[in-house]
Chain A
């Protein structure tokens, strides 16, 4: 699969999801 199959990839996904998720 390529990046286009999975959408844009972020190396900092864990930090980004933590800041976006409800506390």
Chain B
């Protein structure tokens, strides 16, 4: 038995109803340019710190304040003129600060967005160059890797409360291209990364040391790490394979959970997260929060997995306005933010 909800965005849930998506609100960005990303951020609006939605179009980034009854009002918009916005980089526990990545196909600039004391919108250049991977961390920190093989650099930046200054620390480079970073739940000074050559690397964020470089096999080439969990001396890592080949009969897993013993660098597969029968597609974009993973697929559908249960718990099919193109979890509650290129952002409670 499958439950199919009404428009907008057909929702499929499994018969056990272990997960459910319910549409609670819709934001319409009237900008003519293409929407590229969404996230949530803590912001002090009219003297009150609250969780706001932040949306990005090609040349604008807008902050939305919540009103009553799940309605949203746009309060600030930052404008960009030369390089388009690629993604929002939230700094998870920061207030009144958010970063954005700008570029064409690859990230060329990272900018910090904030407001001055007199409520003027400000932006400052944090990093420029050939940026390969970036992640916002807790405690107003941002990690990014840039440069090519010979001048490869991994920087950890810490921003002041107001965003006016930053401290920079260099992490030891694994001397190969880093594709993605992930925080390690349960080990706050650890940072994990995946590399182009199928390695997983671990840093100590306090000392900047590169603790381990571990080969995870050719079947994981160019994997993206989304989240890691440290438990009982082992590291559990959620990966996706944006370049994975789809096997027609069963499809390739969208996410994969592996386990690594960091002491021995030995690893094993734990569980694949695949699409239900009859659905196909490859990973385009996605996010893992706590035990929930969401992905936008090449088919234009959004799929949600409960990592503990091990199976897909909800599917959000494209609606009459078109395919889904980006998806994020809200920072404060179990809401799924689903966006389309035309500026529509739908908020679903899970």
What residues of chain A have their CB less than 8 Å away from a CB belonging to chain B? 1, 5-14, 16-18, 21-23
Contacts and interface: CB of A to CB of B under 8 A. Distances in A.
Contacts of A13: 233, 261-263
Contacts of B211: 14, 17-18, 21
Given A6-B267, A9-B233, A10-B233, A17 B212 contact: yes
Interface string B212-244: 100000000000000000101110000000000
Contacts, number: 62
B185 to A, nearest CB: 13
Main SS class of interface, B: strand
B187 A21 contact: no
A18 B212 CA distance: 9
Interface of B: 172, 187, 189-190, 202, 204, 207, 209-212, 230, 232-234, 259-264, 266-268, 270
A14 B264 contact: no
Nearest to A23: B209
Closest 5 CB pairs of A and B: A7-B264, A9-B233, A6-B261, A1-B268, A17-B211
Contacts of B263: 7-10, 13, 16-17
B234 A21 contact: no
A12 B211 CA distance: 13
A9 B75 CA distance: 51
